[in-house]
Structure formats: C-alpha cells, structure tokens
Amino acid sequence: MEKVRTKVKIYTTPTCPYCVMAIDFLKMHGIKFEEKNVAVDRAAATEMIKKSRQAGVPVLDIGGEIIIGFDREAIKRALKLKE
C-alpha cells in the first residue's frame, strides 16, 4: 500500500466511541494524524466548528476535506485507500 502524505487532523473528545473507532481505523492503515481534544482545547473546538459548522465529534480534516462522523467510506476516499 502506498503511504499517504496527506495531512490528517482529527477532532475528538475522550468519551466519544466513534472517535476511538476513527482513530483505530487510521492507525490500522498506518496513517499519521494529529489529534485535537476539543473537550480541553478551546481553540481546537472553535477551529473545528468553523471548519465543519457543527459541534459533534469526530470531525476529520483530511487535506482540507472535512468529514463529519466516522464515515469509513468517505475517509477511505479522502485518503485514496484501496481495499
């Protein structure tokens, strides 16, 4: 599998099960990412809301493409993963 060089940022909270699933999915595919815990990082929460226009998590920013929720197919498309 070709290594993905797209910058990936994921906005999460500690109590969100879908956040855990999204992180596990990225790790399973060897995708490097930056995690922002919006429960404690007010600036990250503001940034996430500005990008996604909503306050639910997870929100993934994959090279500027915003994906709301753990949408496995959308994440695979954004990362150009082949499975």
Provide the 3-class DSSP secondary structure of residue 3. Answer: coil
Full residue range of the structural domain in which residue 35 is found: 8-79
Q: Structure pTM?
A: 0.91
Note whether residue 3 is domain-resident.
no
CATH of the domain at 73: 3.40.30.10
The predicted structure's pLDDT at residue 51: 96
In this predicted structure, the answer to whether residue 3 has a pLDDT above a threshold of 60 is no
In this predicted structure, the answer to whether residue 1 has a pLDDT above a threshold of 80 is no
The predicted structure's pLDDT at residue 82: 78
Rounded to whole angstroms, the Cα distance separating 35 from 44 reads 10
Note whether residue 2 is domain-resident.
no
Note whether residue 23 is domain-resident.
yes
Number of Cβ within a 10 Å radius of residue 62: 22
Q: How confident is the model at residue 2 (pLDDT cuts 50, 70, 90)?
A: very low
Note whether residue 54 is domain-resident.
yes
Note whether residue 51 is domain-resident.
yes
Question: 7 versus 4: which is more confidently predicted?
Answer: 7
Task: Provide the domain count of the chain.
Answer: 1
Are the CB atoms for 23 and 10 separated by under 8 Å?
A: yes
